[in-house]
A and B are shown apart, each in its own frame.
Chain A
Amino acid sequence: MVESPLLRTVLRLFTGAVMLFIYLPLVILAVYAFNASPLGGWPPSGFTVNWFGEAAGSEEIRDALMNSLIVASISTVLALILGTLAALAMQRYEFFGKSAISFLFVLPIALPGVVTGISLQSSFKLFGVDLGLHTIVIAHATFCVVVAYNNVVARLRRLPRSPEEASADLGADSWMTFRRITLPGMRTALLSGGLLAFALSFDEVIVTLFAAGPGARTLPVWVFSELQRSYQLPVVNVVALLLVLVSVVPVWIAQRIGGGEITRGGR
């Protein structure tokens, strides 16, 4: 079908407008981070970088950032280990109940986050587990497994089996073959899966609020509690900008190294 020039122009303008709609809020956010006025109305009045210094000097923000980094790192490592084991099993073997198990791995992101959150909280409650960073890690690892799993499975599907067979024929045992052939083949998939899991964990708030105790606040939880107050500190704008950068930059790198699974999205 050949679209008329008019239709092509209309579609182009519409797409342009939608891109503007998608990016305008993020641009405005960046502008506010440099707004001299602490009141935050539009238009901004004056330019300042003071809020960056203030944010860096805030112990509350530093603690929350530290918590976020700790949680995201541990959850990413856990998710990579579990996701890779699962991917190897699902991609290399045929067995009874395989499709049910693959459905199981997706379930934590198929059901709404609020369900995942309150489920985990209900078992923490029942077993008397105090909420803290460790419960956030358990929650994050649970839904980050899917991201790691998807990346590694996609890679294993594309990796030819012949080098592994050749390695076995040449007398290497399965550990040697895994270490010298399979693992190097998966390396970029592991890296991009890890970056995506990290970004997902760093940014998560819906499940985190259920798993976080009063003492353990991640950066998004800190932002959320700030937003609920009637008067927000201008440093929130700086933290918001930081959150965007920390979640987008790893994804950008993951895309550059060819993970290829980023279009599946976060939740």
Chain B
Amino acid sequence: MIRRITGWFNRHPRATLRALLAGPLGWISIVYLGSLLILLMHAFWSKDSFTGKVEPFNWTLDAFAQILSNSVYLTIALRTIGIAILVTITAALIALPVAYYMARIASPRARALLLVAVTMPLWASYLVKIYAWRTILQSNGLLGWLLSPFGLEGPGLTEIVNTWLVLTYLWLPYMILPVYAGIERIPNSLLEASADLGGRGWMTFRRVIFPQLIPALAAGSIFTFSLSIGDYIVPDLVSDAKFIGNVIYDNSALGSFPVAAAYSFVPIGVMIAYLYFARRLGAFESL
């Protein structure tokens, strides 16, 4: 039986391709793309003002009107984008020296060790890392204890600056790894040429190394930016600030589902714009 089936597939390579793709492509198209489409439609559906239930295929712009009429939604969007940019820049500033050390100064043994050391935390429970920072930042936590001899207090769990710190902590490895790969790709001869032509350290970095690292930095920034834009757990657990994700999550659970759907246009739109911008910088070749 199997012989007959495989014989038929042998003679029909196109049919084999279709059979291979049917499952995965069907799943992603129906489950994922289909859901995205349904989400976008929800944004244009009305909801019963009494029960709060969504009325499918009852088209209205109410959700968008609600978002545009209240400046809180704009503030939250700008705050989220601002923090995401700040996180991305901070991660890049930390990643550059670390990646440089790993790629060009560390011994091969230390380099291998550092690579694992940077990669492992990527997989060590996201939620638990946030929890660990909660225990450090809370008013009777480690930070407060370290600051108390100086008459200072811990930041507690309400400050928005906490989101910047914790998001940078979470996504830093995503920046270090592509930048490391980028530095490793720069040929030694290029740096020697720069030195021969009189380029000092800083000059060589600014004129030779940095321009070559732009695609790698853009690739890393896709992760740091996208993951920060969509996060709602970090702002919820270490600050009292609301991010885009909190508006979507809170509205999906208790508030207005169409508002949650309409507000999802913000992260989707921002990410499409960002991916376009990153692609122009050559990020996709460095992923």
A22-B118, A82-B23, A252-B120 are known contacts. Are A122 and B38 too (CB-CB below 8 A)?
Answer: yes
A32 contacts chain B at the CB level, 8 A cutoff: yes
Complex interface bits, A233-261 against B, C-beta within 8 A gives 1, otherwise 0: 00010001101100110011001000000
A21 contacts chain B at the CB level, 8 A cutoff: yes
Interface with B: A50-58, A182-190, A201-209, which one? A201-209
Whether the pair B121, A173 counts as a contact (CB closer than 8 A) is no
Whether the pair A244, B128 counts as a contact (CB closer than 8 A) is yes
Measured between alpha carbons, how far is A105 from B117 in the docked complex, in Å? 29
Measured between alpha carbons, how far is A176 from B5 in the docked complex, in Å? 12
Measured between alpha carbons, how far is A43 from B33 in the docked complex, in Å? 50
Residues of chain B within 8 A of A236, CB atoms compared: 131
B271 contacts chain A at the CB level, 8 A cutoff: yes
Complex interface bits, B215-254 against A, C-beta within 8 A gives 1, otherwise 0: 0000000110011011111001100000011001100100
Measured between alpha carbons, how far is A262 from B271 in the docked complex, in Å? 24
| Interface hits, B93-143 → A, CB 8 Å | 94, 97-98, 100-102, 104-106, 114-129, 131-136, 140-142
Identify A11's interface contact among B28, B32, B101, B237, CB under 8 A: B101
A1-B192, A4-B201, A255-B116 are known contacts. Are A112 and B267 too (CB-CB below 8 A)?
Answer: yes
Measured between alpha carbons, how far is A19 from B233 in the docked complex, in Å? 24
Whether the pair B28, A25 counts as a contact (CB closer than 8 A) is no
| Interface hits, A68-82 → B, CB 8 Å | 81-82
A42-B145, A86-B24, A248-B120 are known contacts. Are A25 and B133 too (CB-CB below 8 A)?
Answer: yes
Measured between alpha carbons, how far is A200 from B267 in the docked complex, in Å? 23
Measured between alpha carbons, how far is A243 from B275 in the docked complex, in Å? 32
B64 contacts chain A at the CB level, 8 A cutoff: no
Within the complex, the shortest CB–CB distance from A259 to chain B, in Å, comes to 12
Interface residues on A, range: 35 or more
Whether the pair A224, B2 counts as a contact (CB closer than 8 A) is no
B65 contacts chain A at the CB level, 8 A cutoff: no
Measured between alpha carbons, how far is A19 from B118 in the docked complex, in Å? 8
Measured between alpha carbons, how far is A210 from B249 in the docked complex, in Å? 8
Q: Is the interface of A mostly helix, strand, loop or mixed?
A: helix
Residues of chain B within 8 A of A48, CB atoms compared: none
Whether the pair A119, B20 counts as a contact (CB closer than 8 A) is no
Residues of chain B within 8 A of A145, CB atoms compared: 24, 27-28
Identify A107's interface contact among B32, B101, B105, B229, CB under 8 A: B32
Closest to A81 in B: B23
B54 contacts chain A at the CB level, 8 A cutoff: yes
A223-B128, A240-B131 are known contacts. Are A82 and B27 too (CB-CB below 8 A)?
Answer: yes
| Interface hits, B143-187 → A, CB 8 Å | 144-145, 169, 172-174, 177
A28 contacts chain B at the CB level, 8 A cutoff: yes
Residues of chain A within 8 A of B271, CB atoms compared: 110-112
Closest to B9 in A: A174
A4-B201, A174-B9, A199-B123 are known contacts. Are A110 and B275 too (CB-CB below 8 A)?
Answer: yes
Identify B21's interface contact among A86, A252, A255, CB under 8 A: A86
Within the complex, the shortest CB–CB distance from B273 to chain A, in Å, comes to 13
Q: Which of B54, B117, B122, B236 has the most CB of A within 10 A?
A: B122
A25-B133, A25-B169, A95-B17 are known contacts. Are A203 and B125 too (CB-CB below 8 A)?
Answer: yes
Measured between alpha carbons, how far is A222 from B101 in the docked complex, in Å? 40
B204 contacts chain A at the CB level, 8 A cutoff: yes
Whether the pair A122, B140 counts as a contact (CB closer than 8 A) is no
Whether the pair A122, B42 counts as a contact (CB closer than 8 A) is yes
Residues of chain A within 8 A of B230, CB atoms compared: 111-115, 206
Within the complex, the shortest CB–CB distance from B133 to chain A, in Å, comes to 6
Whether the pair B2, A175 counts as a contact (CB closer than 8 A) is yes
Whether the pair A41, B98 counts as a contact (CB closer than 8 A) is no
* 6 interchain residue pairs of minimum CB distance: A112-B230, A25-B132, A41-B140, A86-B24, A1-B191, A89-B20
A-B contact pairs, 22 of them (CB 8 A): A1-B191, A1-B192, A1-B201, A3-B105, A11-B97, A12-B105, A29-B135, A82-B27, A83-B24, A95-B17, A114-B248, A115-B39, A115-B268, A119-B38, A123-B39, A126-B38, A206-B230, A223-B131, A227-B237, A240-B131, A248-B124, A263-B115
Extra contacts besides A1-B192, A125-B54, A227-B131 (7): CB < 8 Å: A12-B105, A42-B135, A118-B248, A203-B127, A206-B126, A206-B230, A265-B177
